Structure 1
Amino acid sequence: MASLTHIGASGEADMVDVGGKDKTERTAIAEGAVVMKPETLALILEGNAKKGDVIATARIAGIMAAKRTHELIPLCHPLLLTKVSVDIVPDEALPGLRVTALARVTGKTGVEMEALTAASVACLTVYDMAKAVDREMTVTGIRLVEKRGGKSGDYRRQAD
């Protein structure tokens, strides 16, 4: 089993030294969902939420969050992201909204945390903007779907 990369020899937190690594293009995709009452989903899709356009606001919040990941997660490196996108689509079967976030960089370390942060904050923003009408919403399924590039190679989550 591989050892934890952010723990020093004495067990202390340690930021990984990426100085000797090569710059490569790296991409990560993460997802999450907000499960809600059907009426809440309808309200959001009709654009009638009291706080405004829920989907557009959540998309922007996710993008902004990805850019600030290093300020939120203590041992993350600040990255010069080249691309962040957040896609939010309704899913009547949940019912709710599915969020997919993509982060890309050409650098010495991966962007998994940026994609996960974008997906998480987008989901939390949906919750915040609709909580007045539905406190039973559930933020769920935050997970890495795929990562490409870097020394450790590519990863794709197996279907559930």
Structure 2
Amino acid sequence: MNFRSTDPLLRRLSLSNPVHFLALGFGSGLLAKAPGTYGSLAAIPVYLLMANLSLPWYLGITLTFMLAGFYICDKASKDMGVHDHGAIVWDEVVGMLITLIAAPAGWGWLLLGFLLFRVFDILKPWPIKWLDAKVHGGFGIMIDDVLAGVFSFLCLQGLVFLVG
């Protein structure tokens, strides 16, 4: 795998720092090509660990990750000296967890949730694109992916209902 070792901004972060480790999606954000996709993939083991929890526990942990993400992404961004560097992918981890709220068991649903989230995260339909451009700081880094996760969740649950 090709890491972003030549990016001088990444030298300002350390995987031994828990905030940086999480901001970089357990290191997945260091991959040079499509770090957002790798960050979304990094969410899958986290989801699998949470999948059998009751809905209140799943929601509570996801909300905690989201709220912590405001700080985590802001801190990493400030440590790098740039807003929303591509290597910061904690927002993708949280967006995927939102997408997969109450998802049916099975790899097909997991794959569909992943694909839906990537589509919304990449295409950024309104108001996601507007939020991404206008809102800054840790909240700004997180909010577009949170909303992409909500849109993906709604689509996934709509498909569950139709197939159901």
Which one has a larger percent strand, Structure 1 or Structure 2? 1
TM-score (norm 1): 0.30
Higher RCO (CA < 8 A, seq sep 6+): 1
TM-score (norm 2): 0.29
Which one has a larger percent helix, Structure 1 or Structure 2? 2
Computing the radius of gyration over CA atoms, which structure comes out larger, 1 or 2? Answer: 1
